[in-house]
Amino acid sequence: MALPFKVGKKELFLPNFIITFLRNQTLPANYARFEVPLWFSKLDLRDYLYHAYNVRIFSVTSYVKQQRARFGAPGGEENQTPMMRKWHRPRAKKFMTVQLERPFVWPEEPEDLTAWDKETVEAQRGHQEAERDKMMPTADTLVNEDRRKSMKEQARALLEGREKWEPRGREKNLTSMMARR
């Protein structure tokens, strides 16, 4: 069967790059989106998909996404060290959208995410964010609602005479010292 396009003539036996297939969230089923190396050309992707995956395509559109300036020293995500007054911009990412000959729909997202422990990760992240906020310069604006509530209950109990105030700990020592004097 004749190909609808011309295949490149340069033979590449041991390519060494990663192509990421991304979920198609908005486009119709005959479009597929990939993240490719920055040096990749449209013809590269077309020939790669045909030779490696036997996928035929009609057209390619490419898009280079500039990355945001990030805090810290340059380097990958693995050797990211927080450094004051140091900014870097990560390398841009390249995305290509191809028009497929045969449509493809991504499999559905798993409903039960316990295998990936989503709840634990969310709890951990929430705790980390709360701890981080306590370290921020605006920490004195934070209101501890639980503490406020418990203090209100204790005060009401004292006023109503349900509990009697007793000095404890350091206060107890202070009162005993005062009594001796």
Partner 1 sequence: MHIAMHCTSRSLLAGAFRLAVQPHPSTLPPPFLLPAFTTIQRATFSSSPSPQARKDGNPNRGISPLRRKVTTRFAKRVKKDIANIPQPVLDPRLRSAVEVDEDHGLWEFFGQEKNSLATPVEISAHGRGWTVAELRRKDWDDLWRLWWVCLKDRNRLATFEAEKERIGNLYGEEESKKRRRELNVTLGGIKHVLTERWYAWENARYAAMEDPEVNLYADPDKGEQALIRPQEEKKVESIQDTLPPPPADEKLGSEVRA
Applying CB under 8 A, the residues found at the interface with partner 1 are 13-16, 18-23, 29, 32, 35, 49, 52-55, 100, 102-110, 113, 115-118, 120-122, 125
How wide is the angle at C-alpha 63 spanned by C-alphas 11 and 9, nearest 5°? 15
Amino acid letter at 77?
A: E
d(CA 74, CA 142): 33
Output 51 or 149, the one with its CB closest to partner 1: 51
For residue 59, the minimal CB distance to partner 1 (Å) is 16
For residue 153, the minimal CB distance to partner 1 (Å) is 35
For residue 133, the minimal CB distance to partner 1 (Å) is 19
Tokens in use for 43? Answer: 């013809």
For residue 117, the minimal CB distance to partner 1 (Å) is 5
Output 59 or 150, the one with its CB closest to partner 1: 59
Output 118 or 152, the one with its CB closest to partner 1: 118
Output 84 or 115, the one with its CB closest to partner 1: 115
Q: How far is CA 173 from CA 32, 158, 170, 178, 181, in A?
A: 74, 22, 5, 9, 13
Output 101 or 163, the one with its CB closest to partner 1: 101
For residue 135, the minimal CB distance to partner 1 (Å) is 22
Strand segments, DSSP code E, in 101-172 are none
d(CA 45, CA 32): 12
Provide the 8-state DSSP code for 94. E
